[in-house]
């Protein structure tokens, strides 16, 4: 099924939530928010996206991309990765690779976080080449770039420690923008508007 057919598909064809006691929550559409990162900043973005989608009436699983084997139980999927040296984390790339066919049949949104310093939230970073090909294969919508967080106490390698000085240090995530993006996803899934 192509995304253009999303408007015509009854929601029963997509993921539905079931509570642990076996009760069918017929009005709860299941959404996966998967993330990959090293220091928790991207996970925190994913959690906020999940909160907004729950507030919009969805059953949401926020999970580490490395722990996701299948996306077939979800009606919509959001995948985010931290950017390190202009690369996505391998766990997020593997999730897209392993689930290409299933992702092609449902709406998918991608985001990455990482730009730090003045103007971080005005920066739009292109997808890495491999992820660009996967995004095209699954017909994902435009990727969002969110500012990142750089904490010198968490910097690992020599290059990271050098970067963790001066104007790049701090939390550059725009929570209002992240929440607005998540609410837009919720509206699109509820109204069945293709991305």
pLDDT in tens, 32-43: 999 999 889 999
User: CATH assignment of 3-191?
Assistant: 3.40.50.360
**Backbone φ, ψ for residue 4 (5° rounding):** -65, -20
For residue range 107-130, what is the model confidence (pLDDT) as tens digits?
999 999 987 677 767 778 889 999
- Burial-class residue 42 by CB neighbours within 10 Å (0-12, 13-18, 19+): buried
Domain ranges across the chain: 3-191
Q: Would you place residue 16 in the very low, low, confident or very high pLDDT band (cuts 50, 70, 90)?
A: low
Whole-model pTM: value is 0.82
Average pLDDT over residues 131-145: 93
Instruction: Write down the pLDDT at residue 23.
Output: 42
Count the Cβ atoms, other than its own, within 10 Å of residue 190: 13
């Amino acid at each position: 099924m192509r995304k253009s057919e999303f408007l015509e598909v009854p929601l029963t064809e997509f993921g539905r939530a079931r509570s642990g006691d076996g009760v069918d929550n017929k009005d709860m559409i299941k959404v996966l928010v998967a993330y990959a990162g090293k220091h928790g900043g991207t996970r925190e973005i994913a959690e906020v996206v999940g909160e907004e989608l729950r507030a919009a009436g969805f059953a949401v699983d926020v999970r580490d991309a490395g722990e996701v084997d299948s996306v077939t139980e979800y009606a919509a999927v959001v995948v985010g990765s931290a950017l390190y040296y202009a690369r996505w984390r391998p766990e997020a790339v593997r999730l897209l690779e392993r689930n290409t066919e299933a992702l092609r049949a449902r709406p998918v949104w991608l985001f990455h976080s990482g730009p730090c310093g003045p103007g971080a939230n005005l920066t739009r970073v292109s997808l890495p080449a491999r992820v660009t090909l996967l995004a095209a294969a699954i017909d994902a919508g435009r990727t969002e770039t969110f500012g990142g967080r750089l904490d010198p106490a968490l910097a690992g390698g020599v290059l990271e420690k050098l970067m963790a000085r001066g104007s790049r240090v701090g939390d550059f995530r725009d929570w209002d923008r992240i929440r607005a993006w998540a609410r837009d996803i919720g509206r699109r899934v509820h109204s069945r508007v293709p991305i």
